[in-house]
Amino acid sequence: MCQAPAPHENERRSAAWAGSGRIALWVEDGLGTIDTRTWKTHAIAADVTGAVATPYGIAAWTKTTDGIGVYKPDGTRRFQRLQGKQITAARAVGPTLYADTAANTRYSIDLRTGKTTGPLSTIARIITPSYVVIP
C-alpha cells in the first residue's frame, strides 16, 4: 500500500480512525494505515476481506481460514484468533469483538486480552450505533 492501487470496478474501500495519529484503510487487496502527521502509508496485511477499527486495535480478516488478526495502529500484530475458521463479518461493542464464521457460528473476543469464547449459543443480530452527520 505504499502506492495506491488503481481502483477496480466494484472494489470496496473503507477507512476509519485507528488512533495514534493514523487512519486505517482497507481494500480487497490489503490493509494499511496512513500516518496523518507525515502522510506516509504502511502496509499491514494482504488480501483483507474486511476490517473493524476499534480503540483496542484494528481487527482484520481474509477469505481464507486464517481467522482474525488484531493489530496496533503502527501495524504490529497484537494477536491472531480463530485460526482454521473463515470469518465472514465482525462487530465491535466496547472492548468485545463478535466474529461470525462461514460455519454460521459466532465467537466473542476480548480485545483487551485476546480471550476468545465460543461458539456462542446465539447468533442474534448485533445492533451497534452508527454515526450521523449533524449539520
Q: CA-CA distances (angstroms) from residue 22 to 32, 44, 96, 111?
A: 10, 13, 22, 19
Would you write out the chain's pLDDT as a tens digit for each of its 135 residues?
Answer: 344 444 445 557 888 888 889 999 988 778 999 999 999 999 999 989 899 999 999 999 999 999 999 999 888 999 999 999 999 999 999 899 999 999 999 999 999 999 999 999 876 776 666 655 555
With respect to residue 44, please indicate whether it lies within any of the assigned structural domains: yes
With respect to residue 43, please indicate whether it lies within any of the assigned structural domains: yes
With respect to residue 19, please indicate whether it lies within any of the assigned structural domains: yes
Which CATH number characterizes residue 57's domain? Answer: 2.40.128.630
With respect to residue 99, please indicate whether it lies within any of the assigned structural domains: yes
With respect to residue 124, please indicate whether it lies within any of the assigned structural domains: no
Nearby residues of 80 by Cβ (< 8 Å), 6 or more positions away: 66, 67, 68, 69, 70
Question: Domain total for the chain?
Answer: 1
